[in-house]
Structure 1
Amino acid sequence: MRLSLTNSSLITSFLFLIFLNGCASMTSDVASAPGASKSEIEPFELDLSFDFGGSSEGLEKPSSSKPYKVLGKWYKPLPHSRGFRQSGIASWYGKDFHGKPTSSGEVFDMNVISAAHKILPLGTYVRVRNLQNGKSIDLRINDRGPFVAGRVIDLSKAAAKSLGIYGPGTAPVEVIALGAPSQLTADAGSKITYIPVDYYSGNFTIQVGAFSDLKNAKKLWQKLDKKYKNARITPYYPHTGGGKLYRVTVGKCSTLDLAGEYEGIIKKRGFGDAFMVAE
């Protein structure tokens, strides 16, 4: 049966409404930096062809599909574990946040190697490679951020020094998720191996804007609340200091794939600096 153009458009609209019901909504009011290219404001690039057990050093695939316990937490191996690879800009944070609690509850120590990430599960180990000098380091995610479009990871001062990013402040990097360590401790000189975990399930939302003035945040919130579900204002203190900011987010998705689709739709609707974050 041939569908008319009108019927086809109606079906497309209906499917989009179904999609929105599966993931509560969102948008963005932050303008792109002058002269910024599309690649500079695309904070999320996934290489879904990458999986554990490939050529990446230090990765280990579970020999069984039975649940296993690592660092006091139980994990259930995925039938087909999907890796996580991301490219973008890394930044670092130090004394303005030193001694304050991170999103994991740990106290931030700028002299200890660690990092913040917007969406990977807290406690995940990642390999970060500086694409300018080839230096790499393995570290643990214990905080959330950076809440800036185009930035993919926020390094501690110690991690930034190790990667040669401390001086310039930012650098293009590649981030590869390694997973959870396969054992609590390792003998000196022994090779650490990691067990893949599920990076694609959780609670995700979309950040549309961030403001120092609560009135401006409320204006955007009122605009978004009329069209999208789960529009909220959340106060936070940025790693760079400078006082409290108010983040405006929309939507609530249970998978990273759905959040990515949602982010793409929001960007096409005029909010080019929108990006997804884990709650």
Structure 2
Amino acid sequence: MKWNSLLILLLSTFLLSSCSNSPTGRYSQHKDSAPTRLPNESELRNAVPVHEPISPQGNRDYRVLGNDYEVMESAAGYVEEGYASWYGNKFHGHLTSNGEYYDMYSMSAAHTRLPLPTYVKVTNLRNDRSVVVRVNDRGPFHPERIIDLSFAAAYKLDMLDSGTAPVKIEAISLNTPMPAAQKTAAENRPDYLIQLVASSNPDRLSQLKHDLPPKFQEIATTEQSHGLHKLMLGPVSEDDSYDLLEQIRSSGYPEAFRVKAAQSQSDTPDAKHQN
């Protein structure tokens, strides 16, 4: 990695417009920018492919910027080469096309046509580095780009300096489809957490936890990873996570976001890019 260049890029909040250069009312930033810290080791782990039902949102054909996009019925056998870009601060914590919340430190991506979610392997053809990401968003709506990567995924591919990179995308097949009963069970599984705040000061998090309303205190937990302490709520089911997130955001934590529990149960944790 070119550390000096990366640090300069981060500290100066280098702009990369991965979706559109036009501002929209739902975003606080006019242009996209990089965060002020690099991903830690736990955030650089590949996404782990698992059987998931197709999302109820984001899987219909649609039209953006005068162009029509037909969503693929299946990702089986999908392989494509083209240019990748990445997206960061502007979209962090905002809804993705399938109704989740974008976390620029998660291994996720946006694609115009793949079913949501789809797991894909992305290889940087300049250096042969690869990463496995979970596609949960739509974009990039740029004729020369085929995938938008999260900040962490782009960092792992060593493409932050260049902003874009030639890549090969390969869909990861999970072979047999998930039976209907398992799909229902998966939807009701407590697989999601809500992250309220992260801090290097555990005493601050203890105080914040103590000040939470009783209904939130009952499901509040703290987690620690590489010196960073995080205040979380959950785990809860996917359906319940949406209601819980709206409740906690309206209770004084507007930056709270949803995260897969599996991402924060090892020694990790830590949420985008609806255009």
| TM norm structure 1 | 0.41
Q: Which has the larger radius of gyration?
A: 1
Considering Cα pairs closer than 8 Å and 6+ residues apart, tell me whether 1 or 2 has the greater RCO.
Answer: 1
